[in-house]
Chains A and B, each alone.
Chain A
């Protein structure tokens, strides 16, 4: 015997069960109308500036899009994206950048938060502020400072290397060092958001757990490893996702510090999309590249979510 949803599908009318679910959802929304009303302005902005452009980009990705006239080209832009050697190089560079910066910055945030957490209130506030400050500084300013840090003649990096008799490097202008220079810069910018979130999460771990572990003879590292780290997994999951998305979208430092060069050494996906869209005015191709980036980020995000979420449930 067929179930009611199948019957509903066949007749084209919603089943009684579905109708009642919809009604109860609407009733619930009506009950919480004040909350939804407060959310409304943000949701309107979100739809206008995020959802609609994404849908529009998806539509454009199937067109040879012109300013005044466009033509449907099916999946040609996607085919061109995967056949484009520059896209593959940019993808590989972005992956390298992400695979190094995401784990290192998460680990750094966790370590720094662990060191700050036991401090007194005033010291904690000081370090919170100090580490969060670079987060509110424009990446443009940070990139300009780091250009000086990496300067071949006057840079801080080469100055330090000179103490160890290591020859000066032209960090941003050599293929083998340029991407690493950007990676090192990203790592050395304090992960302010991560530190603040870890500190907040650490504050909510019950003290009794540590006391019990102490009575059982656990050392400080064991307590950190067995209690703190597992209980911070939801925060780690959130930060990893956030960091992953940010890393896949690395752009400002690339355009300001290397322009994707030398050669293709620091070409990244968003920089390539920017060039395709705004320099070459190939909006269809750029949209296809952006959709591919979206799918790649989604896949990586899902993999991470599955791995970390399952572990945190265990």
Chain B
């Protein structure tokens, strides 16, 4: 009797399963050909604001336009602060509740390889023809390509540059670097002159330079590159930040605080907001390295006398900086019809007009040649100065374990800038972890 019951149950389940499988096959075929309708969930961080201080107005307008051109499609925007984007994505992936489209932070280094490994990001090659790709700069596409597949649409690029508050330079009678170029010695000399006690109470009120150290952010790194040091060998198999070129540069940077006293005690902490405030609001630091978004942010903070300069040139004889690529990625989808619609929306968000708009308002460089051809920086001298630096830009190494490698290096760098560890010892400790990750 029991046996009969079991057989009956299994039979019913098998029949039901087959039926359901049949249904799902049919559904997929249908949506492949038919126009998909439904809701798209897109995350984004704050961008430039409109007169009502809304920093999401651009995406809201884009969503509205897309809904009009795609009847039956609605777009839900989820606002996420940039600093929380990666954490929130991680949690949403763990809960299998990811958005359909999410931005890739321009300050980072492309699509997170862990997302690709976990197959939660869709390759986009089916939706971008060779002709489509031709309009993108090669290095922008390269940043989003892994194992020959394109995992995101580059929508903007940036470089890190030195932002100079020329008001302080004027106040201290210091000449800014000619054509934005300076050697390390010239840089230190200027920083010394810019560091001073403003109110005469015996303590320093304004410092020459400051920066921060945080996982996934690279404002301080071009200093470490200036003598020729690099974190990994070109083929990505060896840790090379323990080279003399790299550790000497680290020492020079740490000495700005410990020996030259031209940097505040907070330099090297992970406080991004505090570092920016010191430059833009408190005006207690004259020079800080930032990505190009900071140029328009400084203008909005009523800093109208800002100049963009290269990082100082070290023993390598050439100024060097680090570039970043921002864009959009599509998360794993089951419905082919929806994928097509999502790809259409991503194309819209990264089209020429939108890249020009972003360049003019958000301080980014277009990743499309057609957008750059429209000369978006006409009359914008700081952005023109920054544009020159793109020739000096190198990208952060691409490695499947880069997040962990980055963390191993950054936490040691914090200790170096704190004066708690010598660069040699710090990088020797980083090497122990990184070597294991490179295997």
Residues 143-193 of A contacting B (Cβ, < 8 Å): 152-153, 170, 172-175
Chain B interface residue count, CB cutoff 8 Å, equals 32
Stretch of B183-191, B243-251, B265-273, B336-344 at the chain-chain interface: B265-273
Contacts of A262 in B (CB 8 A): 268-270, 411, 414-415, 418, 420
Contacts of B117 in A (CB 8 A): 281
B-side interface residues toward A, CB under 8 Å?
86-87, 90-91, 93-94, 96, 114-115, 117-120, 214-215, 265-266, 268-271, 332, 403-404, 411-412, 414-415, 418, 420-421, 433
B90 in complex: contacting residue of A68, A175, A261, A279, CB < 8 Å: A279
List the 9 closest pairs (A to B, CB-CB), nearest first. Answer: A278-B90, A173-B269, A262-B414, A263-B415, A67-B118, A281-B114, A263-B411, A170-B265, A278-B91
Contacts of A152 in B (CB 8 A): 265-266
Contacts of A259 in B (CB 8 A): 214-215, 270
The CA of A67 and the CA of B90, in the complex, are separated in Å by 11
The CA of A71 and the CA of B91, in the complex, are separated in Å by 21
Residue of B nearest to A174 (CB): B418
Q: Is the beta-carbon distance between A281 and B96 smaller than 8 angstroms? A: no
The CA of A174 and the CA of B269, in the complex, are separated in Å by 9
Q: Could you mark each residue 274-298 of chain A with 1 if its beta carbon is under 8 Å from any beta carbon of chain B, else 0?
A: 0001111101000000000000000
Q: Is the beta-carbon distance between B403 and A279 smaller than 8 angstroms? A: yes
Contacts of A153 in B (CB 8 A): 266
CB-defined A-B contacts under 8 Å, sample of 9: A152-B265, A153-B266, A174-B418, A259-B215, A260-B411, A262-B270, A262-B411, A279-B87, A281-B94
The CA of A226 and the CA of B94, in the complex, are separated in Å by 53
Contacts of A85 in B (CB 8 A): 433
Q: Is the beta-carbon distance between B119 and A170 smaller than 8 angstroms? A: no
Contacts of B415 in A (CB 8 A): 175, 262-263
CB of B280 to closest CB in A, whole Å:
16
Residue of A nearest to B98 (CB): A67
Contacts of B411 in A (CB 8 A): 260-264
CB of A265 to closest CB in B, whole Å:
9
Residue of B nearest to A278 (CB): B90
CB of A176 to closest CB in B, whole Å:
8
Describe A's contact surface by its main secondary structure.
loop
Q: A279-B87, A280-B114 are in contact. Are A261 and B93 (CB under 8 A)?
A: no
| Beyond A278-B91, A281-B90, 20 extra complex contacts between A and B, CB < 8 Å | A67-B120, A68-B332, A152-B265, A170-B265, A170-B266, A173-B266, A173-B269, A173-B414, A175-B418, A259-B214, A259-B270, A261-B411, A262-B418, A262-B420, A263-B420, A263-B421, A277-B94, A278-B94, A279-B90, A283-B94
Residue of B nearest to A168 (CB): B265
A66 at the interface (CB under 8 A from B): yes
CB of A278 to closest CB in B, whole Å:
3
The CA of A85 and the CA of B411, in the complex, are separated in Å by 14
